[in-house]
Structure 1
Amino acid sequence: MQEDFLHYIWQHKKVNSNHLQTTQHERLEIVSVGQQNTNSGPDFFNAQLKIAEQLWAGNVEIHIKSSDWFVHNHESDKAYDNVILHVVWEHDTEIFRKNNSIIPTLELKQYIDANVLQNYNKLFAAKNKWINCETDFHEIDEFVLNNWLERIYFERLERKSKTIETLLETSKNNWEAVLFKMLTKNFGLKVNGDSFFSLANSIDFSIIRKLHAKPKSLEALMFGQAGFLDEDIQDVYYLELKKEYEFLNQKFNLNKDQVIPVQFFRLRPQNFPTIRLSQLATLYHTEQHLFSKVIEINTIDGFYKLFSVSTSEFWKSHYTFQKVSKLSQKKITKSFIDLLLINTIIPLKFSYAKSQNEDINETILKLLQQIPSEKNSIISAFNSLKQVSKSALQSQALLQLKEEYCNKNKCLQCAVGNALIIK
Structure 2
Amino acid sequence: MQEDFLHYVWQQQYFDKASLRTQDGEQLTVLRPGFRHQDAGPDFPNARIRIGEVEWNGAVEIHLRASDWHRHQHHLDRRYDQVILHVVHTADEPVRRTDGTLIPTLELGPRLGPELLHTYQALLAAPPATLPCAGLLPQVPVITRLSMVERALLERAERKAATVLTLHEQLLGDWEATTWHALAAGFGFQKNTEPLTRLAKALSLSVLRRHRHQLLQAEALLLGQAGFLTDIDASDDHTAALVREYSFLRHKYELAETALQAHEWNFLRLRPANFPTARLVQLAALLHARPTLFAALLAAADVPTLEAFFRVPLADYWHAHNRPGRPGKTTELGRDSVHLLISNVVVPLRVAYARHVGQPELAEEAVNLLAQLPAEHNRLLAPYEALGFQNKSAADSQGLLTLQREYCQPRRCLHCAIGNRILRQNPLVS
TM-score tier by shorter-chain length is 0.7 to 0.9
1:313 aligns with 2:316: yes
- Contact residue 32 and residue 48 of structure 2 kept, 8 A: yes
**RMSD between aligned residues:** 2.9
Instruction: Measure the CA separation in 1 of the matches of 2:327 and 2:3.
Output: 65
Q: Summarize deviations over 1:103-126 as a string: whole Å, max 9, x none.
A: 443332333333212211212233
The range that moved more, 90-99 or 14-23, is 90-99
Q: How does 1:30-109 map to 2 (within 5 A)?
A: 30-72=30-72, 74-75=74-75, 77-94=77-94, 103-109=103-109
Instruction: Measure the CA separation in 1 of the matches of 2:327 and 2:176.
Output: 35
Cα deviation, residue 398, structure 1: 3.0
1:369 aligns with 2:371: yes
Gaps of 5+ in 2: 426-430
TM-score norm. by structure 2 comes to 0.86
- Contact residue 168 and residue 178 of structure 2 kept, 8 A: yes
- Contact residue 97 and residue 103 of structure 2 kept, 8 A: yes
Instruction: Measure the CA separation in 1 of the matches of 2:278 and 2:413.
Output: 44
- Contact residue 171 and residue 177 of structure 1 kept, 8 A: yes
- Contact residue 23 and residue 107 of structure 2 kept, 8 A: yes
Instruction: Measure the CA separation in 2 of the matches of 1:128 and 1:152.
Output: 20
- Contact residue 199 and residue 256 of structure 1 kept, 8 A: no
Report the AA paired with residue 254 of structure 1. Answer: L
Cα deviation, residue 23, structure 1: 4.1
Q: Summarize deviations over 1:93-149 as a string: whole Å, max 9, x none.
A: 555679998644333233333321221121223355445334435654322222222
1:165 aligns with 2:168: no
Cα deviation, residue 232, structure 1: 1.6
1:234 aligns with 2:222: no
Instruction: Measure the CA separation in 1 of the matches of 2:98 and 2:337.
Output: 66
Q: Rate the CA distance shift 1:310–1:265 in 2: closer, same or farther, 3 A.
A: farther
Q: How does 1:394-409 map to 2 (within 5 A)?
A: 394-409=396-411
| Secondary structure of the corresponding residue to residue 199 of structure 1 | helix
TM-score norm. by structure 1 comes to 0.87
Q: How does 1:201-216 map to 2 (within 5 A)?
A: 201-216=201-216
- Match of 2:428? none
Report the AA paired with residue 278 of structure 1. Answer: V
Q: Rate the CA distance shift 1:19–1:260 in 2: closer, same or farther, 3 A.
A: farther
Instruction: Measure the CA separation in 1 of the matches of 2:199 and 2:75.
Output: 57
Cα deviation, residue 322, structure 1: 4.0
| Secondary structure of the corresponding residue to residue 339 of structure 1 | helix
Report sequence identity in percent: 36
- Match of 1:253? 254
Q: Summarize deviations over 1:391-410 as a string: whole Å, max 9, x none.
A: 22232233333333334332
- Match of 1:175? 175
- Match of 1:393? 395
Q: Rate the CA distance shift 1:17–1:197 in 2: closer, same or farther, 3 A.
A: same
Q: Summarize deviations over 1:313-371 as a string: whole Å, max 9, x none.
A: 22223334445568x9x332221111111111111111122111221232123101111
Cα deviation, residue 12, structure 1: 0.9
Q: Rate the CA distance shift 1:203–1:80 in 2: closer, same or farther, 3 A.
A: closer
- Contact residue 373 and residue 394 of structure 2 kept, 8 A: yes
| Secondary structure of the corresponding residue to residue 48 of structure 1 | strand
- Contact residue 310 and residue 332 of structure 1 kept, 8 A: no
| Secondary structure of the corresponding residue to residue 4 of structure 1 | helix
- Contact residue 3 and residue 63 of structure 1 kept, 8 A: yes
